[in-house]
Copies of this chain bind each other. A is one copy, B any other.
Amino acid sequence: MSTFVVIGGDAAGMSAASKAKRDDPDLDVVVFEAGEWVSYGACGLPYYVKGEIQSLDDLVSVTSEEFREQRDIDLRTNHEVISIDPDDRTVTARGEDEVVQAYDQLLVSTGAAAVEPPIDGLDRNGVYTLGSMSDGRDLREYVSRARTDGDLHQPDRGPACQFLENCNGPVGIVGGGYIGIEMAEALAANDFEVHLFQRGGRILKSFSEATSEAIGDHLAEQNVAVNLNTEVEGLAGGEVVEAVVTESGRTPVEMVLVGTGVSPRTDIAEEAGIELGETGAIAADAYRETNLPDVYAAGDCAEAEHVVTGEAGYVPLALTANRHGRAVGRTIAGNPTRGGGVAGTAAVKAFEVEAARTGVLDGREARRAGFDPITETIDTKSRAGYYPEGGTVRVTLTADRESGRVLGGSLVSEYGEGAVHRSHALVGAVTEGVTLGKLSNYDLAYAPPFNTTWDPVLTAAKVLDGKR
């Protein structure tokens, strides 16, 4: 009998464990998870903090008990793996006591950790990150307290507060990525005065400039103070944070959320001789196997091949973790399975707008991969012009001038007007290497309540093709 050991019990780890055990019930499957929660939807945490989701338990798709009892997986929560010995084929985990567990096959799915920016004051009370379930619980407690406890409210009402009856805050958000944007919505919805600080010249920098601009404008309309090109130098205060300090001055705050990205957790992998790629994440082949035989890596700790550039990239997102975990599970069960590449696809909702991006949008990245990128952005109606309601879909497309190959796209619309689901067309195009000419001839669905006769995606392809 063979033993499959998994380090880390979130999306990649539990997908692999479940699939391997289902496809090969004779397998012994052991999962070590450092924390208490497994298989949880971290992407839902901002909505829990916002108050739209009532319980943290709602974010758990399968409970520990279900994994143990229904799926027959030896799941050991509160067990942190502290080392891997690839020669002996064992891992050592520390829980109530220390466990040495032998493996035949091993999956490293240790995830990622929030990046700590190099600024002073991160250790003050009132400074949060949002990566784990306990982070979510802490933030929800803070928000609930503020709504009920008058003492936390700042007497000096800021610019957003003038529009709100019972204003909370002010609060600072460091970083204009997904977490920063989603938390701006969550906090503003709870009547906080929100100040967002972004080091670079635009938020959501992996999206197109046109998308970033649209979302930035929308945040401003929602009374979020967006400070671009503003490097945070420190978080001032005493025991509790009191201000965000930048070159431009001090912004008084009673709380700060730091959302400056994540980095892969690779310590124990590196110590065991598992090779990292240039991105700093664990390198793995198409089957997610590392340089060590029978040792796999998947999820937010690992690289994946980009479908456009063919190069290894680091895009730590939920679907890839699930997909690659599942593929490893099949492989372990005797059915070698590729997990597929990544297109760098991502989606975000910000208040009443939605956006998605996929593929290669950055000019330098495209040129490095041997392309000569051209880009165009168009605005079109989201439904037939004469059809009630609706809004605008803004589409940015990037393609290779010579071949016409679609390299990437970025879309933004009002929430519900389909920027995100329409991006599905572009994911296929970048994955299959489709040209603008061919894409613009796609027979996409049309009816007046859903689009103009030429869906915005088709119009963008047609217009950019005309520029070649």
Q: Which residues of A contact B (CB under 8 A)?
A: 11, 41, 43-44, 47, 52-53, 58-59, 61, 178, 307, 317-320, 322-323, 338-349, 354, 356, 358, 384-388, 415-416, 418, 420-425, 427-429, 431-432, 434, 438, 441-450, 453-455, 457-458
* Contact (A386, B47) CB under 8 Å given A347-B447, A450-B347: yes
- Is there contact, CB below 8 Å, between B340 and A438? yes
Q: A427–B425 contact, CB under 8 A?
A: yes
Q: Which residues of B contact A444 (CB under 8 A)?
A: 319, 345, 423-424, 427
State whether A358 touches B443 (Cβ < 8 A). Answer: yes
- Chain B residues whose CB sits within 8 angstroms of the CB of A443 once the complex forms: 307, 319-320, 340-345, 358, 427, 431
> What B residues does A387 contact at CB under 8 A?
44, 47, 52-53
A-B contact pairs, 26 of them (CB 8 A): A41-B448, A44-B448, A47-B387, A47-B449, A307-B443, A319-B446, A319-B453, A319-B454, A319-B458, A322-B454, A340-B438, A340-B441, A340-B443, A341-B441, A343-B442, A345-B444, A347-B447, A349-B447, A358-B443, A418-B418, A421-B424, A425-B428, A428-B428, A428-B429, A428-B434, A431-B443
Contacts of A317 in B (CB 8 A): 446
Contact partners of A384 in chain B: CB under 8 A = 41, 43-44
Residue of A318, A323, A340, A386 with most partner-chain B CB within 10 A: A386
Q: How far is the CA of A447 from the CA of B453 in the complex (A)?
A: 28
Partner of A425, one of B388, B425, B434, B453: B425
- Closest-by-CB residue of B relative to A382 is B421
User: What separation, in Å, do the CA atoms of A172 and B139 have in the docked complex?
Assistant: 58
Q: How many copies does the complex hold?
A: 2
Q: How far is the CB of A408 from chain B (nearest CB, A)?
A: 12
- Nearest B residue (CB) for A60: B386
Query: Do A448 and B386 contact each other (CB < 8 Å), given the known contacts A418-B418, A443-B358?
Result: no
User: Most chain-B Cβ atoms within 10 A of its Cβ — which of A340, A424, A425?
Assistant: A424
A441 to B446, CA, bound (A): 26
| Distance of A343 Cα from B441 Cα, bound (Å) | 11
Say yes or no: B386 contacts A445, CB within 8 Å.
no
Q: Is the CB of A445 within 8 A of B420?
A: yes
Give complex CA distance A441, B44 in Å. Answer: 23
| Chain B residue with Cβ nearest A431 | B442
Knowing that A343-B442, A420-B447 are A-B contacts, what are 13 other residue pairs whose CB atoms are under 8 Å apart, sorted by A's residue number?
Answer: A11-B453, A41-B453, A43-B447, A43-B453, A59-B386, A317-B446, A319-B453, A322-B453, A358-B443, A421-B422, A424-B445, A425-B425, A428-B428
CB distance from A217 to the nearest CB of B (A): 20
In angstroms, how far is the closest chain B Cβ from the Cβ of A419?
9
* Chain B residues within 8 Å of A448, by CB: 41, 43-44, 47
Top 6 A-B residue pairs of the complex, sorted by shortest distance between their CB atoms: A340-B441, A428-B428, A421-B421, A424-B425, A347-B445, A343-B443
Report the minimum CB–CB distance from A273 to chain B (whole Å). Answer: 29
**Could you tell me the distance in whole angstroms from the C-beta of A309 to the nearest C-beta in chain B?**
13
Contacts of A428 in B (CB 8 A): 424-425, 428-429, 432, 434, 442
Residues of B within 8 A of A420 (CB): 445, 447, 450
Compute how far the CA of A447 lies from the CA of B318 in the bound complex, rounded to whole angstroms. Answer: 9
> Are B445 and A423 in touch, CB under 8 angstroms?
yes
**Distance from A182 Cβ to chain B, minimum over Cβ atoms (Å):** 8
A11 CA to B452 CA, complexed, in Å: 13
Nearest chain B CB to A415 CB, angstrom units: 7
Q: Across the interface, which residues of B come within 8 angstroms of A454, CB to CB?
A: 319, 322-323
A347 partner residues in chain B, CB cutoff 8 A: 445-447, 450
- A19 to chain B: closest CB distance in Å? 11
| Complex Cα–Cα for A387 and B448 (A) | 28
Measured CB to CB, the closest approach of chain B to A146, in angstroms, equals 22
Q: Is the CB of B441 within 8 A of A323?
A: yes
From B344, B427, B441, give the contact of A338 (CB < 8 A).
Answer: B441
Within the complex, the shortest CB–CB distance from A433 to chain B, in Å, comes to: 9
Q: Give chain B residues whose Cβ lies under 8 Å from the Cβ of A323.
A: 441, 454
B-chain residues with CB within 8 Å of residue A446 when the two chains form the complex:
43, 317-319, 345, 347
Residue of A343, A347, A421, A458 ringed by the most chain B CB atoms within 10 A: A421
Bound state CA distance, A319 and B432, in angstroms? Answer: 23
Complex CA distance for A398 and B345, rounded to whole angstroms: 26
Task: Choose from B346, B386, B432, B449 the contact partner of A41 (Cβ within 8 Å).
Answer: B386
